[in-house]
Amino acid sequence: MKSILIVHQGAIGDFILSLRAVEAIHGFYREAHFNFIAHPGIVEVIQRRPYYKQVFDCSDSCWVSLYSSKEKLAGVLNNLLPHVDSTFVFGRPSSQIIADNLANYFGNSAHRLDPFPEPDLCLGVGDYQCRQLEKLGIPATPPPDAIIAPAHQDFLEARDFLSRNLGPKDRFVLLHPGSGGKQKLWAVAGWRSVINKLSAHSNIRFALLQGPADTGIVQHLRSQFESNSLILVGNWQLGKLAALMSEADLYLGNDSGITHLAAACGTPTIALFGPTDPQVWGPQGPQVNIIRWQPGNSFDEQAELKKISEPPFEAELVCKKAREWLQI
């Protein structure tokens, strides 16, 4: 069986944007198994894909040799990856040395796929990478809309959580007000307005997703409501979280890896984008709506603690789209 190596050192959201290209490579090497040098969290995203074999943590110090001499690289690969038929490196031009070193070591092809589209192309990351694959003779047929497949145990745990927190007629809305970049956070006043307006429908229940970087904004938002009105989902593993997303009626979130995960699960998704260009970096899919918020409508904890902010004007558009998805 052929062995394909994928090197992708980006965060979870970046990897999910690259999944179209990974799926296209799989379509070309249908019988091959894939090894990854990547963020270890992608295991829970792709472990049930037919090509998956294993993921090596790209932050491990042993991979520094990818940028170094052939002798040091050989010592690592002899132990971990004795054979590779073809390599694909997702990365900036500085990552070309990785592709060159691997090609020289294995004596076969190693291709670098650039993750940053040229501005005048007006292409999303996935489309741009697939275009590069097509130049290599690898067809890039779009994959199914939902390409994340959580494990059965993850679904059992997610459904148990829902049975303990929801009534039989409740509609379930997931909110992720956080993000890895503070400049990507929409104002709490916007989230508060959306929750208040949708709460007019008594069967709507909200769950707040909180990751390690989200504590400040999540706590600030929770302080605006009664303690039992928002269900907290704190620091769940990605597989279990993906299962929960697959059961949700709607997801609302900022520009973050978690929002990309929701879209890839096939969950109806409203993504709130501020300074980042969603045409390039936005989540893809027929069940995705992207709403831009304007400069000045970002989350400023100190400012919001001093005054009750007026909701930003895009809050009404978020509510309108949410009502359309929920059919209320």
Contact 314, 190 (CB under 8 A): yes
11-41: pLDDT as tens digits: 999 999 999 999 999 999 999 999 999 999 9
165-219: pLDDT as tens digits: 999 999 999 999 999 888 999 989 899 999 999 999 989 999 999 998 888 889 8
Q: What is the DSSP string of 304-325?
A: HHHS-PPPPTHHHHHHHHHHHH
Percentages helix, strand, coil for the chain (3-state, rounded to 5) are 45, 20, 35
Both structure tokens of 324: 């359309």
pTM over 0.85: yes
34-50: pLDDT as tens digits: 999 999 999 988 988 99
Class of domain 3-135: alpha beta
Residue 300's SS3 state is: coil
Name the one residue in this structure whose structure tokens are 């109806």.
268
71-82: pLDDT as tens digits: 677 777 887 888
Q: What is the DSSP string of 179-235?
A: -SSGGGPBPHHHHHHHHHHHTTSTTEEEEEEE-TT-HHHHHHHHTTS-TTTEEEEES
152-326, CATH topology level = Rossmann fold (3.40.50)
**CB under 8 Å to 143, separation ≥6 — which residues?**
19, 20, 23, 24
CATH 3.40.50.2000 residue ranges of the chain are 3-135, 152-326
| Strand-pair category, 3-8 with 33-38 | parallel
